Structure 1
Amino acid sequence: MAVNVPGLVAVVVFYIVILVIGIWASRKSKKVEKTCAGSKSEVTIVGGRNISVLVGVFTMTATWVGGGYIMGTAEAVYSPTQGLIWAMGPPAYLINFLLGGLFFAKPMRSKCYVTMLDPFQHRYGNIFTATLLLPALVSDILWVACILAALGGTMSVILGLSSALSIVISAAVSIIYTFLGGLYSVAYTDIIQLSFIFVSLWLCIPFLVLSPAVADLSQVVHLNQSNVNSWMGELELADAGKWADEMLLLALGGLAYQALYQRILSAASSVQAQVTCFAAAGTVFIMGIPSVVIGAVAASADWNQTAYGLPPPFERGEAGKILPLALHYLTPTWLSVLGIGAVAAAVMSSMDSVLLSSASMFTQNIYKTTLRKQASERELKRVIRVSVLLVGLAGTGLAFGDDSVFALWLLSGDLLYCVILPQLICVLHFSYSNSYGAITGYVVGLLLRVLGGEPLLGIPPLLLYPGWREEDGVITQYFPHRTLAMLASVTCVISVSWLVEQGFCRQLIPQSWDLLRVFDGKQEADADEVPVPGEEKNIILNTKL
């Protein structure tokens, strides 16, 4: 395929604009650091807790509206084996933000934490916190790989560039401005990126629907019976367990992402953090509608009337690229270029957040508290930057060659859902949870998840749940095994913590057996009243973002 020179020029200009805005924002970050009375590294991580509601909504929405969300939703709607009923992203993310605002924003922000791992560090100590960083880091790297794979596929279709080159260039731009400016660069670039995604994708919809190759408009919009099986999809009783498992994974797994709490903790108050979550719930749902329409149009199109020809994309194994294919073959060239810009913007708006979240947790909860307790602020900023670079390189390396964006998108939240979410629920809402229960829940959740297998990673299941099927030599679990692992982990944390507490407090277990020293007088008191750095009212700065 020949390179689309005008499209390439437009994308390069867009990347330069984003890079310039990111560099400009990094200068603003440095100015805030000079006026900030607290830790300078916290300005990089949580922006000095000055993010306004409007900017917070933009950056929170942009983080979730990534390449996986846009392309994965279109892929699910288009796929004959799935359909609209399996396009879980928009409703799942709406639920995610509503629950985040109701049950997680206030307890996190009111304690003035810096990262999602802070409550674990205060309750359980440094060693257990380090074990929680591992699944969070793996999930972030997979998320980076997912969104870069989405962009690589899009650019290869529309611009004629190699997927590998597209991935490397886009990753480099995101890494550079996140490396320089931290949360300020991320927030400001997110505003531009989200605005561009909204305008360009919605602008494509009329051209797609009115394309001569697409079925009659009334059939697409009014869900005519002839199209129900092609893109509406069906949910059979035998598939209900798998559907519920994936829906809950997306809806609840997002509550265990550091990227979510980075926005919550950057708000000026607990109330503002909650309002940001509630507003983002609506915007993230609206941003998913164009992808649903694109998937439906692609499923209703006669590809033989386009230059793509037959067989259709699904039969060629290109369902994961259906969004760029639809834009390229069903819209004018200039619109397809806008579409590639939308996907590029979505990729960078998510990637920068993921890079910063992993770097923040490692620097704040591992390097600063365990490896180098006397580290200077200058040293901590360097560690954040090096961490951003390493996570970016790791995710970029995994982005090559994966065909299903939807599958990688689901996998990125898998460990968070099964391992970290149960821990977060218990540490925030069950004051008696302790290290013994937390360790037990961690092991049980991780063990059950691994025993369930993972086809995408080639891990065979050792524990077969009811309803499993073998298709083309690959065993797929149709029982909600991820949700079972999550619930089992929560149950273990609560029950073991309570039983151990009763055993030691009632002297049923000798005090000498308290190897983790949870129930000596001082630590038991600290478990209920967590020491936090300062009061909320003292950290709001005069400068507003």
Structure 2
Amino acid sequence: MIIAGVILCVLALLVAGVYAARRVHGSSNNYLLAGRTLAVPVVAILLASQAIDSNGILGNTDLASEFGFWAGAALPLGLALCLIIAGVFFAKPMRAFQIVTLPDFFERRFGRSIEIPASILTVSAFGILVAGNLVALGFLLDRFADIPYNAAILLAVPIVICYTIAGGMFSSSYIGIGMIVVNFGGMLGLFGWMVATHGLSTPAGLGPFDLSQLTSSADGAVINWATIVALALGNLVAIDLMQRIFSSNSPRTAQKACFSGAALILIICIPFSLVALTAVAILGDEAASGPVLYTLLGDHAPTLLAVVVLAGIVTASLTTASGVLLSCSAVITRNILRMGRATSLESASAMTATRVAMIPMALLGALVALRIPQTGILLTLTFDLLLAGLVVPFILGLYWRSRGTATAAMAAIVAGVAVRVALFVATPTIYGVENTLLYVSNGTFSESMDGWSTFIAAAVSLVVYVAAALVGRRPVPLVVGAAPVRDTDAGAETADEATHEPAPVRA
């Protein structure tokens, strides 16, 4: 009954996505960036969907129920903080560059030698993020449709691919509007039902006022802060986040959307952390049988409420997975294979190649999902890798333009990633969960290193970049764009001669 209701709700929203596909008109510019026409509300919803999807919500509730409020709330707090930082420092200048993907910035700032490793690292990391959403969909089908987890993962892959291939960014935009309405209604309904029927309770030591979770390493403080920092900074170089910023109709729209998206994340996601804590008392031993939220909705909540909440989460997962596949395939075709650059974004062959490239990306996500059946952990791990490798070259490459060449960027990427991967392989846990992917038993590192690895790798990247920049030659000045950008509240009307893009209009 529940799964049938979820399917009907999701199909209703997908109709909007199919309808939106008509606006692509065979243009890769429309497919990847919605013609750079999106207004503040739409961009804000797309930015917020990253925290509202099943990866974020299930990770939030599972971590909160097991480790405490701050372990779960660290996910939405980190992602919201990232959007605030992006709005203050990065949204306007990055939108003004008139580029298509984040690796375009690295190519323009450091050259082709950095564009390639930046592209490979972002695509590899985001294969993990796709996996997190596939895990949640797999658990959903396992719990409510009695489809074994492994088979459910393989079934979820073509669903995500077909949804994304249809209309690209326009599909994500149209579905995102319905998604946010359903999620907001579901959150209010679930929180209200919980308060009315069970009240709010917190196990000893796990509540929001138990600040030892943020001050004592024994209570997970290092891991919780590492999660917040990894998401707040690592997500700055998220290719799907930047692609949504690039889709806005002006630099100022991009900035406002970041602030609005941060507010949406906090309003919708923080109550789920409180619900998870109360669910521990309600479920008892059942809490260990699978995702806490799924067990609560399947066995205790009213059917209609379960349908609404799950439909919202599933739709958000499709939106996030679509954005990830879209941005990754754009990076593969544009930045690695160099398609659609010598001519223009209107190239039909470039759009076809972008669609084809989604298939191996989805399969990579499925492989990781089968190996690590976790949600929030995969979300954090994605941005942990990006923090170690790309955040320092990105921030200092943008704001310290008088220093730092490709040599400094390459050194920072190699050193940061090498240290992070080495510590990952040598540490028996990943953010409090057993490392079942790449752990090599050793007598040097214990679980106490978990969390510190994030800070150590980022610090190494920073030190190496600064040292190489100070001893190296001065870089070539960074060119902002092929054409001037006029930034106004009503929307900037520009014509990017390099990509033959039309002047944006309000969506």
Shorter-chain TM-score above 0.5: yes
* TM-score, normalised relative to structure 2: 0.87
CA contact (8 A) 2:3 2:144 kept: no
Residue identity opposite 2:221 in structure 1: A
1:19 aligns with 2:5: no
Establish whether residue 418 from structure 1 lines up as the match of residue 418 from structure 2.
Answer: no
Structure-1 separation of matches of 2:309 and 2:506:
33
> Is 2:224 the counterpart of 1:243?
yes
What is the deviation of 1:374? 5.9
Cα 1:427/1:164, change in 2 over 3 Å: same
The answer to whether the aligner puts 1:283 opposite 2:264 as a matched pair is yes
Select the residue among 112, 116, 133 that pairs with 1:126.
112
Find out whether 1:69 has 2:56 as its counterpart: yes
Cα gap change, 1:403 to 1:180, in 2 (>3 Å): closer
Please list every run of 5 or more consecutive structure 2 residues that lacks an aligned counterpart in the other structure: 429-434, 487-493, 496-501
CA drift at 1:485: 1.2
Q: Which residue of 1 aligns with 2:178?
A: 192
1:335–1:478 Cα change, 3 Å? same
Q: CA deviation at 1:250?
A: 1.6
1:440 alignment partner, one of 411, 416, 426:
411
Deviates more, 1:349-358 or 1:397-406: 397-406
Alignment of 1:147-226 (within 5 A): 147-211=133-197, 214=198, 217=199, 220=201
**Partners in 1 of 2:483 and 2:442 — Cα distance?**
48
**Which of 1 and 2 has greater Rg?**
1
Q: For 1:344 and 1:10, locate their aligned partners in 2 and report how far apart those are by CA, in whole Å.
A: 12
**Cα distance in 2, alignment partners of residues 415 and 301 from structure 1:** 37
Per the alignment, residue 229 of structure 1 pairs with 205
Aligned to 2:316: 346
Query: Which residue matches 1:509?
Result: none
Deviating more after overlay: 264-273 vs 150-159: 150-159
Contact 1:231 1:299 in 2 (8 A): no
Equivalence for 1:458: 438
Residues 93, 281 of structure 1: 8 Å contact kept = yes
Q: Once the two structures are superposed, what CA deviation does each residue of 1:315-346 show, in whole Å capped at 9, x if it has no partner? A: x5x3xx11100111221233223332122112
When structure 1 is superposed on structure 2, of 191-200 and 429-438 the one drifting more is: 191-200
Which string of whole-angstrom CA distances, capped at 9 and with x for unpartnered residues, describes residues 26-47 of structure 1? 10121xx6xxxxxx42222222
Please report the RMSD computed on the Cα atoms of aligned residues, expressed in angstroms. 2.5
Residue 535 in structure 1 maps to residue 484 in structure 2? yes
Residues 542 and 342 (structure 1 numbering): CA distance in 2 closer, same or farther, change over 3 Å?
A: closer
Say if 1:459 and 1:267 are closer, same or farther in 2 by CA, change over 3 A: same
In the alignment, which of 57, 68, 75 is matched to residue 83 of structure 1? Answer: 68
In structure 2, distance between residues paired with 1:251 and 1:542: 30
Residue in structure 1 matched with residue 462 of structure 2 by the alignment:
490
- Letter of the 2:186 counterpart: S
Offset, 1:278: 0.9
2:99 to 113, 116, 120: 113
In the alignment, which of 250, 255, 277 is matched to residue 274 of structure 1?
255
Q: Secondary structure at the match of 2:205?
A: helix
TM-score by length of 1: 0.81
Q: Is the 8 A contact 2:75 2:376 kept in 1?
A: no
Are 2:243 and 1:262 aligned? Answer: yes
CA deviation string 1:229-276 (max 9, x = no partner)? 255564324443333222211221111101111111111221111111
In structure 1, the partner of 2:295 is 325
Return the alpha-carbon distance in structure 1 between the equivalents of residues 159 and 9 of structure 2.
11
Counterpart contact for 1:152–1:167, Cα < 8 Å: yes
Measure, in 1, the Cα distance between the counterparts of 2:41 and 2:451.
41
* Partner SS state of residue 370, structure 2: coil
CA shift digits 1:455-475 (9 cap, x unpaired): 4323338795xxx53xxxxx4
Alpha-carbon distance between aligned partners in 1 of 2:343 and 2:249, rounded to the nearest angstrom? 28
Q: CA–CA distance in 2 between the matches of 1:383 and 1:362? A: 9
1:117 is paired with a residue whose SS is helix
Q: Cα deviations across residues 27-79 of structure 1 (Å, max 9, x unaligned)?
A: 0121xx6xxxxxx4222222211111111111111233221110011011111
Q: State the alpha-carbon separation in 2 of the partners of residues 262 and 360 from structure 1.
A: 10
Cα distance, 1:542 vs structure 2:
5.6
* Structure 1 segments unaligned to the other structure (5+ residues): 1-5, 34-39, 304-310, 470-474, 502-518
Percent of residue pairs identical: 22
Does the CA contact (< 8 Å) of 1:194 and 1:345 recur in 2?
A: no
The partner residue of 1:96 within 60, 82, 88 is: 82
- 8 Å Cα contact 1:230/1:299 also seen in 2: no
Note if 1:384 corresponds to 2:354. Answer: yes
Q: Label 1:491 to 1:285 Cα distance change in 2 as closer, same or farther (>3 A).
A: same
Measure how far apart 1:111 and its partner are. Answer: 1.6
Equivalent residue letter for 1:7: I
Conserved? CA contact 1:294–1:326, under 8 Å: no
In the TM superposition, structure 1's runs of 4+ consecutive aligned residues that sit over 6 Å from their partners are: none
Separation of aligned partners in 2, 1:398 and 1:22: 27
Q: Deviations over 1:388-407 (max 9, x none)?
A: 22212321333236343222
Equivalent-residue separation in structure 2 for 1:152 and 1:202 (angstroms): 25
In structure 2, relative to structure 1, the CA distance for the partners of 1:491 and 1:542 (3 Å cut) is closer
Q: Matches of 2:14 and 2:71 in 1, distance apart? A: 36
Alignment partner of 1:313 out of 287, 302, 307: 287
Quote the Cα distance in structure 1 between the aligned partners of 2:89 and 2:111: 24
Q: 1:261 to 1:295 in 2, by over 3 A?
A: same
Whole-angstrom CA distance in 2 between matches of 1:201 and 1:156: 23
Instruction: Read off the aligned partner of 1:258 and give its amino acid letter.
Output: I
Moved more, 188-197 or 48-57: 188-197
CA distance in 1, matches of 2:295, 2:207: 17
Distance 1:481 1:333 in 2: 43
Does the C-alpha gap of structure 1 residues 163 and 199 become closer, same or farther in structure 2, counting only changes over 3 Å? farther
Q: 1:300 pairs with 266, 276, 281, which one?
A: 281
Give me the whole-angstrom Cα distance separating, in 2, the residues matched to 1:528 and 1:77.
47
